[in-house]
Amino acid sequence: TMKRFRRHGTESQRDRLKQELFQFTKTVEHGFPHQPSALGYSSSLQLMAIGTRSGAIKLYGAPGVEFMGLHDENAAVTQVFFMPHQVELVTLLDDNSLHMWTLQSHKGLSELLEIGRFLLTGPPGYTDISVTRVTAVLTHSSGELLLLGTEGGHVFIVEVPGFRELEEMNISLDQITSCVPDDYIGRRNLEHVEALQENPVNSNQVAIGYGRGLMVIWDLDHRCAIRHIPATQQLESMWWTEDGSCILSSHNDGSYCCWTLRTGDEREEEEKSNVPYGHFPCKAINKIVQLPTAGGPPFLLFSGGMPRASYGDRHCITVIYSKTQVAFDFTSRIIDFFVTRDGPQHTVFGEPSALVVLVEEELVVIDLQTEGWPVIQTPYLVPLHSSAITCSHHVSAIPLKLWERIIAAGVVQNTQYSKKPWPITGGQNLAPDPPQRDLLLTGHEDGTVRFWDASGVCLYPLYKLSTAAVFSADADLNDNMSQGAEGEWPPFRKVGCFDPYSDDPRLGIQKIHLCKYSGYLTVAGTAGQILMLELNDEAAEQTVEAKIVDLLQGQEGFRWKGHTQLDVREEPVLFPPGFQPFTVVQCQPPAVVTALSLHSEWKLVAFGTSHGFGVYDYLQKNNVLVKCTLNPSDQLAMEGPLSRVKSIKKSLRQSFRRIRRSRVSLRKHHISNTNKIQEANARLEAEQAEMEMAPVQRKIEARSSDDSFTGLVRTLYFADTFLSDSSHNTPSLWAGTNGGTVFAYILYIPPVEHRADEALTAQPAKEIQLMHRAPVVGIVVLDGHGAPLPEPLETAHDLARSPDLLGSHHVLVISEEQFKVFTLPKLSSKMKLKLTAVDGSRVRRVGVAWFGSSRTEDYGESGLVFLTNQGDVHVLSLPHIKMQIRYPCIRREDVSGIASCVFTKQGQGFYLMSPSEFERFSLSTRYLVEPRCLVEAPLP
Amino acid sequence: MFLSAVPQPSVEPRSRMSRQSQQQHRTPIRHIDNTVEVKSKFEAEYRRFGLKRNGFGGFQEFYHLLQNIHHIHGVEVLLEYADIHGDLLPINNDENFHKAVSSANPVLRIIITKKEGDSIVYTTNSLQRRRKGLGLTGLRPAASSSIHSKNKSGLMIGPPQDFRQISSIIDVDILPESYRRVRLHKYGSKKPLGFYIRDGVSVRVTPQGVEKVPGVFISRLVRGGLAESTGLLAVNDEILEVNGIDLAGKSLDQVTDMMVANSHNLIVTVKPANQRNNIAPRGSKNSMGHSGSVGSGGSIGSALSHDSPSPASQSNPITASSSIAEGDSYEEDDDGDVILENDCLSPNKYFPITNSSTLNRDSPHKGQHSTIPQSVSMPNSLGASLSHSSTMMSHHNGGSAHSVSSSQESMKEDGNVITL
């Protein structure tokens, strides 16, 4: 009993320590919200609100000021409105529910909270659902009333924040129709309420716009119609000018009208209907805004209105000021836009300063005060997915020198942006400065690598590297294809960076490894290309040396049916300042690179594909090792699986590309092309439905050496450890395959003085075939203290303790199914932890992290962090591989989210919660990057 | 008749250095091609000799040869050999003798035991199990052997001899009558497990009434597969547990992964769709556990037996909650990872593939099966301390005359022993 008691004591001690080391928090979402559906703006708070189709609501102000809320209902947010001069906002969902949110201060920080919800029922007697379906919302400047226009044509008035229906104030359709002028086209049905506007100079007057076209000015005090504006085209939007003298209406046929309201005169005057892109039929103008300037003509801005036949598929906002007119051409659908104003205290009547446009895939902000209306770079909401993300790589604690050089390289690339500061400035960012400089590198389908500042709450773009210049592309893509030619009408200008169409999928980046100490970078791609790059502050013209590596090693009888290898340019190429390639290794067959590791101290890069792996010496530009891992009976690995899997995607991409070309050359045919997309989509959906119909069956079979892709290299690892005997440590390379095999090689690296000329060799030393044959996803050598070996050059830069070379080393082999520790150099099994056999989950992503105690500064320990296919994150202790914690993190259905996860060295992680957003989470009590901000209510 | 043998006394292993240097002068092809090295053991005595691979005769000749070598004429013995998976298998006819010779990798290890009345069940890892439980001398615990010798003259009751066990019904005494716990011994068998599972709806009777819950069912049996050949599993049987872990709340993919991860020693608890062939638990626990008799309805042409209840199942009836410890206690030793040392690997860095493909060609199997196991790890319980594991290893090494031979050792023996 004594023993039991004691053990209990140590266990509870360990439990307490766990609480000090680990906690799971989802901290912040980076990137651009998936499927945004509504935009709102408060000029008094200087805050912007974005609602999404999944019911999320996100608020953004000054960089670092952000809030997130989620509606319980799984319904799209269709409209968002801030209550004027208040910290409340109202959302309308497509289930017709209204929600009131507020920014509440708590311990000096603001929180976004839902404080009320409301479903319009209408007075008794209204039974038809459509009668109370809200189509237009007006937040009255009094801050006490909501006007809700409905599908039935009624306007209901609700008192807020309590959501009390003021029945006596309702404006019923009957009241309106009874006084419609007789000459208004036979007094037909007015249809739903399309728009509601308040008179900026008289808050008692509101304009009600009906779908049919009729607009009515209603006096809220006297409860009567003052005026009727008999527009006859389907109404799209309404705008009451700031001086209260005019109402602009925009219509379904691409026209807009300006109705002058003269006081004392009963008859309003219609200026002639204006069709800005006229002659031929035009698409609707969805929204129109007119803003005065102090000393000149007003700004007129409207979305849509393009000639239906030739440019009906464009997403444009036209800005007209004086003689200047530009049709900003976006690459995705426009959700909404607003214009920020400046001037004293950001009063409503300040000068227009920036046009803020929310399109489906990005936020674009255009500086209206600088000549040429340049784009302002967004500090947040950056579309991560401007080309689809194919991989990511996180590097913690970047040395200042490298950081500054990367920023400098990025500045050169961003000269086209406006110099104006970010125009949305609400709230105060109270988060402490990030403790260190962190980089997140994302690889993209188009062959680019983007460098992001991931130190703080805003994931800010620093620099973009393009690898495409190394290769001669099939057809040189002209990026200015859709750029407006001189005198072209409409005067298009392409804006935004969302461009998901990769012209050569072989360029796609699959693996990235950056050495933060040396500034060497290696990236590997879809067509077996491995590029070695070095950071250079100057532009340089150089020839990139290509080296072909035959991974089949003479195995015969195979025919690669996948894509061909990329052609490396033979002539010198001018590379801008930044990371410049100096060598490219090309695997043969050109299969996708599945593993990559860089050792900048030894100047070696290891790479692997489904056929084998190799080690390349980038100093001598020579191959040190090639090993074929291919099972001779594995035909599938030979055929190039990508060519099959991607075929549907490819055909879709091609059809998109055709459309894009047709915009320029074959304008008349593009409608049929749009139909083609619809057909293709319908076909895809049908295929999907068919797959869902088939009964789900799973084969139960032991893995065998004859399974497909057993030779696929999953992980590569360099280590200085004891591989041949227990008294001499040597450089080594470890490789793990899909079939559960681990290969270990001893590397002979000449002493520094002969490093450039003496030959390097690699000797096979050990081979482990795991009996369970599950894919090996990670290999870590633990030193005599049980600590993971430091990174290359880490000890040389005095940033890590030297590894303990006296005690015995161990190697931890992580397969998808279990964790196993072997002694070195004997490789006898020391301990193991089974995962899949016990709970059916499999390791998907793994990393080593250091966890500091929240209680005391000087205690910390290393842990193995991993994510399973069930979406749970776990931490295992090292070196004892004991389960510490487990938290659900990602939905298990979210396969791409799970596949995208990366861990940082400080126990944080990132995963793609949608194609355009990273969710950031932390398992550490000490390292948390989360928004901390305060928004104060504006003074009355 | 080409049998020839020269008995040799057992040779002390030389130092590692000399072995390595010797090995480099040797092509690994020769000894595999021409002769099979045989190491036979009777009680405490060992004999080593070479056997011509392409010229051997039948079982009877081999039997007499062994009697000669060990000087045990007139003693009725059983011959067994250790296959590459560490399983102990019988040699009692021409066919399995040929199989034994062809699978020698590279040493054919023969264990000769006096024929006694007790029955032996050939099963996964039986070699290690027997070694662990009974030592290597072939002695049986007094109690059991005395019981068996008493029964010697009578009718033999128990599992049939000379068969390799591929499946068993276990824990009959502790499971509800409507459930069946089946162990499939995949390892060492060439047969595929051969079944498919699917999602389905199960009806449970709860105190609140009948309730429909999602369940996992067998959807298909592959013809000629292990699952079908046992006759213990059928389409539409509901799977309730895998290796002692309750499947409630687990997705089809999770269950699939669990089964594959346990595939070398899969224990599934099913609720058979056909409830007519159930084995009713009879009598007391103890008598059931050891009697080895089979309920009348359960036998469908396969070798059946009752293993004694495993500790996990005793502590966990069907409602067992999953935990690591419980999961592990169910498992058989699976530390059969094959480790190749550098001296087996090609020293030639430029053409590493050439050498290993040569090895492949000589072997009847493809891929990693053909590699020579240098050492087969011993079972280690989860999180075993270093000291514990090192004692295990030393125990293993102590019995090295009997452990799976290292390649170095075998090559040396090859050089010393074979006479043609």
Q: Single out the residue in B271, B287, B303 at which a domain terminates.
A: B271
Domain that holds residue B219: 167-271
Optimal mutation site among B87, B201, B254, B396, interface A, most CBs of chain A within 10 A: B254
List the single residue in B227, B243, B342 with the smallest CB-CB distance to A763: B342
Contact criterion met (CB < 8 Å) for B345 and A883: no
* pTM (2 d.p.): 0.78
Nearest to A277 by CA among A235, A246, A237, A310: A310
Contact criterion met (CB < 8 Å) for B261 and A739: no
Contact criterion met (CB < 8 Å) for A832 and B243: no
Whether B243 is covered by a domain: the verdict is yes
The tens digit of pLDDT for each residue in A483-493 reads 445 567 889 99
A653 touching B (Cβ < 8 Å): no
Beta-bridge mates of residue B233: none
Q: What is the DSSP letter of A211?
A: T
Whether B370 is covered by a domain: the verdict is no
Nearest to B84 by CA among B364, B304, B341, B345: B364
Mean pLDDT of A655-662: 50
Contact criterion met (CB < 8 Å) for A633 and B366: yes
Confidence (pLDDT) at B52: 79
* Residue B300: pLDDT over 80: no
Q: Return the sign of the alpha-carbon dihedral for residues A400, A402, A406, A409.
A: positive
User: CA angle, A818 as apex, A814 and A823 as ends, to 5°?
Assistant: 60
Confidence (pLDDT) at A632: 77
Alpha helices for B71-166 (secondary structure H): 94-102, 126-134, 142-151
In chain B, residues with a C-beta closer than 8 Å to the C-beta of A695 are 198, 219
* Residue B356: pLDDT over 50: no
Q: Could you tell me which residue, B21 or A779, shows the higher pLDDT? A: A779
Residue of B nearest to A827 (CA): B339
Beta-bridge mates of residue A164: A159
Residue of B nearest to A710 (CA): B367
Q: What dihedral angle (degrees, nearest 10) is formed by the CA atoms of A852, A853, A859, A862?
A: -40
Beta-bridge mates of residue A319: A301, A326
Contact status, residue A787 vs residue A810, Cβ threshold 8 Å: no
Amino acid at A932: R
Amino acid at A855: R
Whether B93 is covered by a domain: the verdict is yes
Q: Return the sign of the alpha-carbon dihedral for residues A341, A345, A347, A349.
A: negative
Whole-Å CA distances, A642 to A143, A474, A527, A777: 58, 19, 10, 21
- Residues above pLDDT 90, as percent of chain A: 64
Whole-Å CA distances, A349 to A340, A353, A501, A938: 10, 11, 42, 17
CA–CA separation, B297 vs B303, rounded Å?
14
Whether B15 is covered by a domain: the verdict is no
Contact criterion met (CB < 8 Å) for B380 and A870: no
Q: B222 to chain A nearest CA, in Å?
A: 10
Give the tokens for residue A128.
């038809």
Residue of A nearest to B262 (CA): A837
A555 touching B (Cβ < 8 Å): yes
* Residue B411: pLDDT over 80: no
Burial grade of A282 (CB within 10 A; 0-12, 13-18, 19 or more): buried
Contact criterion met (CB < 8 Å) for A698 and B196: yes
Confidence (pLDDT) at B255: 94
Burial grade of A584 (CB within 10 A; 0-12, 13-18, 19 or more): buried
Q: Could you tell me which residue, A93 or A346, shows the higher pLDDT? A: A93
Model confidence band, residue A897 (pLDDT cutoffs 50, 70, 90): very high
- Residues above pLDDT 70, as percent of chain A: 88
Beta-bridge mates of residue A246: A260
In chain B, residues with a C-beta closer than 8 Å to the C-beta of A839 are 245, 250, 254, 258, 322
Whether B185 is covered by a domain: the verdict is yes
B96 and B186 housed in the same domain:
no
Burial grade of A566 (CB within 10 A; 0-12, 13-18, 19 or more): buried
Contact status, residue A882 vs residue B383, Cβ threshold 8 Å: yes
Q: What is the DSSP letter of B327?
A: H
Burial grade of A681 (CB within 10 A; 0-12, 13-18, 19 or more): exposed
Contact criterion met (CB < 8 Å) for A764 and B254: no
**Phi, psi of A176, rounded to the nearest 5 degrees:** -75, -50
- The answer for residues whose C-beta is within 8 angstroms of residue A462's C-beta and 6 or more apart is A406, A407, A410, A439, A451, A452, A453
CA–CA separation, A742 vs A847, rounded Å?
18
- Residues above pLDDT 90, as percent of chain B: 8
Whole-Å CA distances, B73 to A52, B21, B114, B149, B210: 89, 41, 12, 22, 69
Whether B398 is covered by a domain: the verdict is no
Confidence (pLDDT) at A654: 55
CA–CA separation, A92 vs A541, rounded Å?
56
Model confidence band, residue A905 (pLDDT cutoffs 50, 70, 90): very high
Alpha helices for A146-231 (secondary structure H): 173-177
Mean pLDDT of A498-517: 89
B178 and B83 housed in the same domain:
no
Q: Could you tell me which residue, B172 or A172, shows the higher pLDDT? A: A172
B110 and B181 housed in the same domain:
no
Contact criterion met (CB < 8 Å) for B366 and A631: yes
The tens digit of pLDDT for each residue in A516-549 reads 999 999 999 999 999 999 999 999 999 999 999 9
Nearest to B353 by CA among A846, A628, A78, A598: A628
In chain B, residues with a C-beta closer than 8 Å to the C-beta of A876 are none
Full DSSP string of A473-538: -SS---TTTTSPPTT-SS-EEE--------S-GGG-EEEEEE-TTT-EEEEEETTSEEEEEEEESS
Mean pLDDT of B250-273: 90
Mean pLDDT of A134-157: 92
Full DSSP string of A323-371: TEEEEEEESS-EEEEEEEEESGGG-TTSEEEEEEEEETTEEEEEESSST
Model confidence band, residue B319 (pLDDT cutoffs 50, 70, 90): very low
Contact status, residue A875 vs residue A881, Cβ threshold 8 Å: no
Confidence (pLDDT) at B155: 59
Q: How many domains in chain B?
A: 2
List the single residue in B322, B337, B367 with the smallest CB-CB distance to A631: B367
Beta strands in B26-106 (DSSP E): 35-42, 45-52, 77-82, 88-91
* Residue B30: pLDDT over 70: no
Residue of A nearest to B192 (CA): A701
CA–CA separation, B229 vs B304, rounded Å?
12
The tens digit of pLDDT for each residue in A850-878 reads 999 988 888 999 999 999 999 999 999 99
User: CA angle, B397 as apex, B393 and B402 as ends, to 5°?
Assistant: 125
Whether B293 is covered by a domain: the verdict is no
Confidence (pLDDT) at B161: 56
Residue with tokens 């105060």: A428
* Residue A477: pLDDT over 70: no
Nearest to B337 by CA among A811, A701, A820, A717: A820
A856 touching B (Cβ < 8 Å): no
Contact status, residue A461 vs residue A296, Cβ threshold 8 Å: no
User: CA angle, B315 as apex, B313 and B320 as ends, to 5°?
Assistant: 70
Q: A878 to chain B nearest CA, in Å?
A: 12
CATH number where B42 lies: 3.10.20.90
Confidence (pLDDT) at A554: 78
* Residue A720: pLDDT over 90: yes
Count CA atoms within 13 Å of residue A591 on its CB side: 28
Nearest to A427 by CA among A81, A84, A82, A60: A60
Model confidence band, residue B2 (pLDDT cutoffs 50, 70, 90): very low
Model confidence band, residue B173 (pLDDT cutoffs 50, 70, 90): confident
Contact status, residue A371 vs residue A380, Cβ threshold 8 Å: no
Nearest to A560 by CA among A639, A643, A642: A639
Q: Single out the residue in B219, B248, B271 at which a domain terminates.
A: B271
In chain B, residues with a C-beta closer than 8 Å to the C-beta of A883 are 324
First-to-final CA distance of chain B: 14
Instruction: Give all strands of the β-sheet with A612-617 in edge-to-edge order.
Output: A595-599, A604-608, A612-617, A622-628
Q: A840 to chain B nearest CA, in Å?
A: 4
CA–CA separation, A288 vs A573, rounded Å?
48
CA–CA separation, A102 vs A92, rounded Å?
15
The tens digit of pLDDT for each residue in A176-194 reads 888 777 777 555 688 899 9
Contact status, residue B38 vs residue B50, Cβ threshold 8 Å: yes
A693 touching B (Cβ < 8 Å): no
The tens digit of pLDDT for each residue in A306-365 reads 999 989 899 999 999 989 999 999 999 999 999 998 865 545 568 899 999 999 999 999
In chain A, residues with a C-beta closer than 8 Å to the C-beta of B264 are 702, 771-772
List the single residue in B261, B323, B368 with the smallest CB-CB distance to A741: B368
- The answer for residues whose C-beta is within 8 angstroms of residue B158's C-beta and 6 or more apart is B119, B292, B305
Average pLDDT, chain A: 87
The tens digit of pLDDT for each residue in A403-457 reads 999 999 999 998 889 999 999 999 999 988 888 999 999 999 999 999 999 999 9
**Phi, psi of A728, rounded to the nearest 5 degrees:** -125, 120
Contact criterion met (CB < 8 Å) for A842 and B335: no
State whether ipTM is beyond 0.90: no
Q: Single out the residue in B70, B95, B114 at which a domain terminates.
A: B114
Q: Could you tell me which residue, B93 or A635, shows the higher pLDDT? A: B93
* Residue A718: pLDDT over 80: yes
Whole-Å CA distances, A930 to A27, A457, A746: 5, 6, 44
Q: Return the sign of the alpha-carbon dihedral for residues A74, A75, A79, A83.
A: negative
Q: Rg of chain A over CA atoms, in angstroms? A: 32
Beta-bridge mates of residue A851: A861
Whether B171 is covered by a domain: the verdict is yes
The tens digit of pLDDT for each residue in B33-84 reads 577 888 888 888 888 888 877 666 788 888 888 888 888 888 888 888 887 7
Alpha helices for A46-186 (secondary structure H): 173-177
**Phi, psi of A286, rounded to the nearest 5 degrees:** -80, -30
In chain A, residues with a C-beta closer than 8 Å to the C-beta of B347 are 763-764
